[in-house]
Structure 1
Amino acid sequence: MNIVSSVNNSGNNVDEENEKDKISYLIRKLPVLGNLFHIHGKIGKGTFSSVFLATLKSSTNQRKFAIKHLVPTCHPRRIERELQCLQDIGGTDYVVELDLCLRSAECIVFVMPYMKHDRFAEYVHDMTVDETRNYMKALLVALRRVHKFNIIHRDVKPSNFLYNRAMKQYRLVDFGLAQQYTTESNTSSQAETCVIESQPGKRKRNDVNDETGPVKNTGKPIDVQCICYGKPRICSICLSKSAQTAPRAGTPGFRAPEVLLKFPSQTSAIDIWASGVIMLCILSGTHPFFRSPDDCTALAEITTIFGSTKMQQCAKKLGRKLTFSENIPGIDIKLLCQKLQKRNSLHREEDPNTSCSNKNQEKIDTAYPSAAYDLLIRLLDPDHCTRITAEEAINHTFLAD
């Protein structure tokens, strides 16, 4: 025990030193930042940024700020896009606002209001019906605001939708992967096909923030059908075709079918799917719900719920072809959520680390109405053309009650 303790303390000391070094680096690169703020420490870290907690030196009310430092390797276009989103969209309808942007050479920081929030894992198991209704409505109001500007957030997930249970406050954050789209995208004009084939061997999670992924495709109409079409293999002719790029940025477990199928003309519907996955976590009391290490496995997980026929129909509309070794009937999503909720509840009752207050809270209100599952099904429509919009979802019976 003493050895473990000393190792942990050593590790903490190293982390503290690294944190101090990064704060010193920031102040050295941006002296004005040190003149304006007391930087207290790091509170978050992502692929493209680190977030620090700070307070104004000249203020006595100790108002807190989140200072987001973008890594120097960020593409200028990505930084410009995030800044534009914060300026145009932020500050209303639960979307984070921007107070200040500072830059010196390659060092760029965004200064935003800090909001104390709870971890999703702390409340996903015991949210009441009313709390779920308020949470989902706030999320969809925020997405409606974003989508009005023809912007896709692309990374909707619990850690990017902050929630303070005590204060009932919500905030959609992190527009680092945001992307503009056109409403003229024609989803039925693509006539290409692609066979998704599992690769045996050790699974490896792909880079979750790659903007694009390769899809073997000619990019031209196919006059003669290839001999491997519809078969669980790819011939040498198809492998030699030029690669097509399609947006795939996002977090595993929250990617929509059209992203997994590498459809190029993606819309705000991918954010709606991600909000549906969040609601699925809440209604089932399970987080994370999807644990796929790669896109192929993610498609298999979704197919387990919706069935192979529905997924093949969805793929066909996108100009893709999915093949399965057997027919998968799909399952009743309402029954699935209820079984998982019951199983997880029993596990927590048996867990000595679960507090009595949490156990009692779970018994207060766990029966979700049919309207909640109807909304869930519409948010998780595999067909992005018929998937409910944020505006429609806000007016759904479950949220309108």
Structure 2
Amino acid sequence: MAKARAVLQRHGEAIDVHQDDFKEEHAEETLDESADPLEESGRTVDTSDEEIDENVADEIARFEGSFVGIDKRYRIINRVGEGTFSTVYKAEDLEYNSFENRWDVDERERRKWQSPASRSKRARRPHYVAIKKIYVTSSPIRIFNELELLHDLKNSNSVCPLITAFRHQDQVVAVLPYFQHQDFRDYYRDMKISEMRIYMKSLLTALRAVHLKKILHRDVKPTNFLYNPQAARGVLVDFGLAEREGTDWHRCNCTLEPEDRRRLINHSFYAQNQQAGHQTTSYPKNDTRNSRRANRAGTRGFRAPEVLLKCTQQTTIIDMWSAGVVLLTLLTRRFPFFHSADDIDALLEIATIFGRKKMKETALLHGQVFETNIPSYSENGHSLEKIILWCTGRTGEKQGPKKELEEEEKEAVAFLYRLLECDPNKRITADEALRHPFIAKAHEDSEADDDMVDLVEV
């Protein structure tokens, strides 16, 4: 494959991208909507079994045929993931021993316990990578953005780093480490609270690394966090929708001082309408206000309220709401927990829990109005404790004793309230979350597990 080296630069750092000699064709824009989480989870597998489906084998053959020379560097084994914007394959790195592989965390851990003599020898065992084939319909800007952000995060062990990238004609592939993991649906119903702590600590550690770089992941969900329950370790993947904080910002009311915000609300058409004694919100016949545009990228059911309300100054804190939805999923044993068809349904689902009053306050925070005349939506909503009891079938008989959560579950719920805070200014950050008492106990749980292993080995 004829190659030239192109150097892409930002902030003084270089990203090496291997490309062929053909001219790049313009790709079409795609929607910023990830696949349905349940459907997408069904497309994600983790297997070392080389017995593959005939259709997948044909797909791999077509890929190798269209991307000249890739089979000389990698032996593609199986398809392990299929999303909205890309397909991911497991492959053996045939040139592993020709390069330094600082990205290989597992190899570093293995060599740490080897003798100096063994360490000096080159390992002959196979080494695996994940090859992400980005669909040609993706925007070139989107592809460059993803590769650049992955490059910036290359030193974080909890984030899947970029090894290298190749382009052949209009096809781009990113080569990433392959992480052994288990499908979320195989274990989420059986996790103990102690295991949830460790899972969440691993996820929050990844988010802290991402947020320290002022990067919004925008698509935090179980299928984008590859977790290995046996190793109690996970890595955050898929930065296809990620962006730097401050990208295309416009002023939003949520960043104003409370007094300034109240003044704007009091002089708004909405306030005048209320003062006139109208029972329901009416709208001006000739509305001259500009329509609001904001980034709504992400997956249905995991978007924060400010994303649904088109906040124009979204920050890294949106990822913390998504992490809260993941914890709510674990506690309720329901996946996906929210299953909205669109943004309006999503807001109503959140209103079911937090109530109409909270949703009105949240909407006004961003200069929006939330109104619903559906009688089943209560003013104050329901507590998360009650939601979890309902979902896990512990509501009990009306005449019987009142059911309550266990003490560990109550600790988890106290933490969950900090994550699922509708006001982004009050929501807990990744750094604060890692210091929260609920997550801090994960270290004790890990030590307890180690003691159990020691007893078995003795």
Q: CA deviation at 1:159?
A: 0.2
1:351 corresponds to: none
1:139 corresponds to: 203
Rounded Cα–Cα distance in structure 1 between residues aligned with 2:171 and 2:216: 26
1:260 corresponds to: 308
Q: CA deviation at 1:160?
A: 0.2
2:410 corresponds to: 370
Unaligned runs of 5+ residues in structure 2 are 1-51, 97-123, 257-263, 275-279, 396-404, 442-458
1:329 corresponds to: 380
Rounded Cα–Cα distance in structure 1 between residues aligned with 2:82 and 2:65: 20
AA aligned opposite 1:180: R
Q: CA deviation at 1:283?
A: 1.1
1:225 corresponds to: 269
AA aligned opposite 1:78: R
Rounded Cα–Cα distance in structure 2 between residues aligned with 1:61 and 1:229: 72
Tell me the percent identity: 37
Unaligned runs of 5+ residues in structure 1 are 1-14, 192-219, 345-364
Rounded Cα–Cα distance in structure 2 between residues aligned with 1:162 and 1:316: 37
Paired residue for 1:384, among 418, 424, 447?
Answer: 424
Paired residue for 1:246, among 294, 310, 319?
Answer: 294
AA aligned opposite 1:39: I
1:117 corresponds to: 181
Q: CA deviation at 1:223?
A: 7.7
Q: Is 2:137 the partner of 1:73?
A: yes
Q: Which structure has the larger Rg over C-alpha atoms?
A: 2
Describe the shift of the 1:386–1:185 C-alpha distance in structure 2 as closer, same or farther (beyond 3 A).
farther
Paired residue for 2:346, among 290, 298, 310?
Answer: 298
TM-score, length-scaled by structure 2: 0.68
Q: CA deviation at 1:173?
A: 0.3
What pairs up with 1:25-36 in 2 under 5 angstroms?
25-36=62-73
1:43 corresponds to: 80
Describe the shift of the 1:334–1:111 C-alpha distance in structure 2 as closer, same or farther (beyond 3 A).
same
Paired residue for 1:272, among 320, 331, 338?
Answer: 320
Q: CA deviation at 1:61?
A: 1.2
2:286 corresponds to: 237
Q: Is 2:447 the partner of 1:398?
A: no
What pairs up with 1:11-22 in 2 under 5 angstroms?
16=53, 18-22=55-59
> Contact 2:160–2:176 (CA<8 Å) still a contact in 1?
yes
SS of the equivalent of 1:338 reads: helix
AA aligned opposite 2:151: Q
AA aligned opposite 1:393: A
> Contact 1:100–1:111 (CA<8 Å) still a contact in 2?
yes
2:47 corresponds to: none
Greater mean alpha carbon deviation, residues 72-81 or residues 326-335: 326-335
Rounded Cα–Cα distance in structure 1 between residues aligned with 2:212 and 2:231: 27
Q: Is 2:380 the partner of 1:340?
A: no
Q: CA deviation at 1:380?
A: 0.2
Describe the shift of the 1:135–1:29 C-alpha distance in structure 2 as closer, same or farther (beyond 3 A).
same
Q: Is 2:314 the partner of 1:314?
A: no
1:213-265 deviation digits (Å, cap 9, x = unpaired): xxxxxxx9998737995745545423x75433111011001011111111121
1:354 corresponds to: none
Greater mean alpha carbon deviation, residues 329-338 or residues 19-28: 19-28
TM-score, length-scaled by structure 1: 0.77
Rounded Cα–Cα distance in structure 1 between residues aligned with 2:254 and 2:220: 28
Q: CA deviation at 1:16?
A: 4.8
Describe the shift of the 1:224–1:110 C-alpha distance in structure 2 as closer, same or farther (beyond 3 A).
closer
Describe the shift of the 1:366–1:159 C-alpha distance in structure 2 as closer, same or farther (beyond 3 A).
farther
Q: CA deviation at 1:117?
A: 1.3
Cα RMSD of the aligned pairs, angstroms, is 2.9
Rounded Cα–Cα distance in structure 1 between residues aligned with 2:420 and 2:430: 13
> Contact 1:253–1:292 (CA<8 Å) still a contact in 2?
yes
Rounded Cα–Cα distance in structure 2 between residues aligned with 1:246 and 1:81: 18
SS of the equivalent of 1:68 reads: strand
Q: Is 2:120 the partner of 1:55?
A: no
What pairs up with 1:165-176 in 2 under 5 angstroms?
165-176=229-240
Rounded Cα–Cα distance in structure 1 between residues aligned with 2:352 and 2:406: 25
Q: Across the two proteins, how many residue pairs are aligned to each other?
A: 338
1:74-115 deviation digits (Å, cap 9, x = unpaired): 111111111011111134241001112111221111111111
> Contact 2:182–2:228 (CA<8 Å) still a contact in 1?
yes
Rounded Cα–Cα distance in structure 1 between residues aligned with 2:268 and 2:89: 58
